[in-house]
Amino acid sequence: GLGFYTGEDGFLYCDNMRVDDIRAQVKDSPFYLYSRDRITANYRAYQKALEGLDSIIGYAVKANNNLKIVQHLQGLGSGAVLVSGNELKLAIAAGFDPSRTILNGNGKLPWELELAASAGCLVNVDSEFDFDNIAAAARKVGKKVKVLLRINPDVDPQVHAYVSTGLASSKFGIRNSHLQWFLDAIKAEPMVELVGVHSHLGSTITKVNIFRDAAVIMCDFIKKINDEGFKLTYLNIGGGLGIDYTHNPSTKLPSPTDLIDTVRDIVKGLGLTLVIEPGRSMVATSCALVNTVTGVKTNGSKQFIVVDGSMAALIRPSLYDAYQHIELTAPCGGPKAVFDIVGPVCESADFLGKERELATPEPGAGLVVHDAGAYCMAMASTYNLKMRPAEYWVADNKLATIRRGETLDDHLRLFEGL
C-alpha cells in the first residue's frame, strides 16, 4: 500500500508499516508521520498532467517547509513558489534552480526583493509600491529582474473567505484599471523585464472550470499587454486545487490532469509556458498527525475524546472550521459513540474534530488526524508551551526522523544572556 490505509488486520498503516508499531518505536506523541512515496506520487501526477506542455511546477513551500520534504520535491524536478525571504533562503539551501522559483506576496520587503534579484528568482508584482521596491532592489544589486504581473481576475473560487484571494475586494494583486500604470512604469525601467502574468484564485478549490475562466481572462490581458510591445511567455495560474478531506468514497474531486486539461488548449495556442503553484495537493494527503488518547469524558450531553495533540500542533479545524478525517490506529471493541476530539489547550477553540462517530478508545490508544501534510505543521505554534511535534517519514520501507521535536530548551535558549 501507498500512504495511509487500513490493513486487512484492521490496523492503520503508513506504506508498509503499522502506525501502532511506529508509535511504539518513536515514543514521542503527538507526531507528524509522512509517506515519502505519497509525496512522490502527488508530484508525478502533476508531471504527467503537464506532459506535452512547457511548464514549471512551483511547489508552494508555505504549505510545508520541512527541509527534507522540500529537498525531496527539488530532487524530483520541482520548482518552488515562495512568500518570504526566509522561504527563498530555504529554497536556495535545498538546491532549487532560481530560474524555476517565484517570489510572491503583497508585502515583500526590500531585503527579500534584493535577495530575489541577486538569486535570479522570478518576482510577482503585486502593487505600485511593490513595483517601485522591485525596481529599487534590481538597481541596488545590479541585476535585471524578471517579473510577472499578479492580476486580480475577479473570479469567485467558492471557498472559505479566508482562503479566497482572487476577488475584486481581496488584498492581493493589481486592478485591471491600473494596468496601464504598470506597463508604462515597466517600459521606463530597464532593470525590470515583464515576462508574464499571474493569478491565484484561492485554495481548497474543487471545481476546476474556474481555472479556465481565469485563464481566458488572463489571456485577454496577455494579448492586450503584447499589443503594447511586450512579449510575454509565462502564464501562471496559481495553486489552489483541493483534496478530498472527507474520505467519503462517493466524493470525486478533480485530479491534476482535470485541472491542466481545462487550460491546455489555451496555453498551447499561445505558445506559453504554464506555471502552476500547488501546495496542498502536493503534500496534504501524505501525512497524518498521530496522537495518543489521554482519556474520555462526558459533560452534559457531550462526549469528548481528549488527546495530547491540540490546536497548537494543528490549527485548521479551529481557524477555518476545517474538517480533517479522524480514525483510531487500531481495531477497538469499545462501544460506538459520537465524540468531539479535543486537545489540552486552554480554550474552547481547541478541537481537532467535532461530532465524529468512533469506538470508545482506552487511554493510550492512537488517534490520527488525516491529510495533515499541508498547512498543519507549517502553521503550528508553541501555544501553552506545547512544543512543535517531531516529523517522521516512511521511506524505502524504513522510518526516519525528518525534523526533531522542539523542546522547552529550544524555547529557553532564546532568553540566554538576556
Which of the residues are catalytic? 346
Task: State the CB neighbour count (10 A cutoff) for residue 225.
Answer: 21
Closest CB to ligand LLP among residues 230, 320:
320
Sign of CA dihedral 149, 186, 97, 275: positive
| Residue of 200, 264, 370, 386 that binds ligand LLP (CB under 6 A) | 200
Determine which residue in the list 104, 152, 164, 286 makes contact with ligand LLP, applying CB under 6 A. 104
Q: Which of 111, 109, 110, 90 is nearest to 101 (CA)?
A: 90
Please return the burial class of 415, using the count of CB atoms within 10 Å of its CB with bins 0-12, 13-18 and 19+.
exposed
Least distance between ligand LLP and beta carbon 16 (Å)? 28
Q: Least distance in Å: CB of 63 to ligand LLP?
A: 5
8 Å CB contact between 32 and 287: yes
User: Shortest Cβ distance from residue 242 to ligand LLP (Å)?
Assistant: 7
Closer CB to ligand LLP, 278 or 353, in the complex: 278
Question: Alpha-carbon distance 184 to 153, whole Å?
Answer: 21
86-123 b/e with 16+ CB inside 10 Å = b? ebbebbbebebebebbbbbbbebeeebbbbbbbbebbb
DSSP-assigned states of every residue in 258-307: HHHHHHHHHHHHHTPEEEE--SHHHHGGGEEEEEEEEEEEEETTEEEEEE
Asked if 375 is part of the footprint of ligand LLP (rule: CB under 6 A), the reply reads: yes
Question: Among the candidate windows 41-49, 93-101, 183-191, 233-241, which touches ligand LLP by CB under 6 A?
Answer: 233-241
Q: Which residue type, as a one-letter code, is found at position 45?
A: A
**Binding residue (CB under 6 A) for ligand LLP from 55, 66, 203, 292:** 203
Residue 388 binds ligand LLP, judged by CB under 6 A? no
Out of 79, 166, 279, 373, the only residue in the binding site for ligand LLP (CB under 6 A) is 279
Q: What is the nearest approach in angstroms of ligand LLP to the Cβ of residue 365?
A: 27
Alpha-carbon dihedral sign for residues 230, 233, 234, 235:
positive
Instruction: Give the residue, chosen from 30, 153, 196, 239, that forms a contact with ligand LLP under the rule CB under 6 A.
Output: 239
Long-range contacts of 215-223 (CB under 8 A, 24+ apart): 215/262, 215/263, 215/266, 215/267, 216/266, 217/153, 217/155, 218/151, 218/153, 219/266, 219/270, 221/149, 221/151, 221/176, 221/179, 221/197, 222/196, 222/197, 222/270, 222/272
Measured from the CB of residue 274, what is the shortest distance to ligand LLP in angstroms? 14
- Cβ pair 294, 344 in contact under 8 A: yes
| Beta carbon nearer to ligand LLP, 170 or 382 | 170
Query: Residues 17-56: x/- map of binding to ligand LLP (CB under 6 A)?
Result: ----------------------------------------
176 vs 180: CA distance, rounded Å: 8
166 touching ligand LLP, by CB under 6 A? no
Task: Compute the least distance from the CB of residue 408 to ligand LLP, in Å.
Answer: 27
Determine the interface stretch with ligand LLP among 137-145, 238-246, 286-294, 390-398 (rule: CB under 6 A). Answer: 238-246
Of 204 and 291, nearer to ligand LLP (C-beta) is 204
b/e burial code for range 359-368 (CB count within 10 A of at least 16 → b):
ebbeeebbbb
Per rule CB under 6 A, is residue 240 in the interface with ligand LLP?
yes
Task: Draw the binding track, 118-157, toward ligand LLP (x: CB under 6 A; -: no contact).
Answer: ----------------------------------------
Q: Is 361 in the site for ligand LLP (CB under 6 A)?
A: no
Provide the minimum distance between the beta carbon of 382 and ligand LLP in the complex, in angstroms, as a whole number.
Answer: 18
SS3 234: strand
Q: Which residue, 85 or 238, is less far from ligand LLP as judged by CB?
A: 238
Does 316 sit near ligand LLP (CB under 6 A)?
A: yes
User: Which of 47, 74, 50 is closest to 61 using CA atoms?
Assistant: 74
Q: Is 81 in the site for ligand LLP (CB under 6 A)?
A: yes
Binding-site member from 163, 219, 368, 377 for ligand LLP (CB under 6 A): 163
**Minimum Å distance from CB 197 to ligand LLP?**
13
| Residues in contact with ligand LLP by the rule CB under 6 A | 60, 63, 81, 104, 163, 165, 200, 203-204, 238-241, 277-281, 316, 320, 374-375
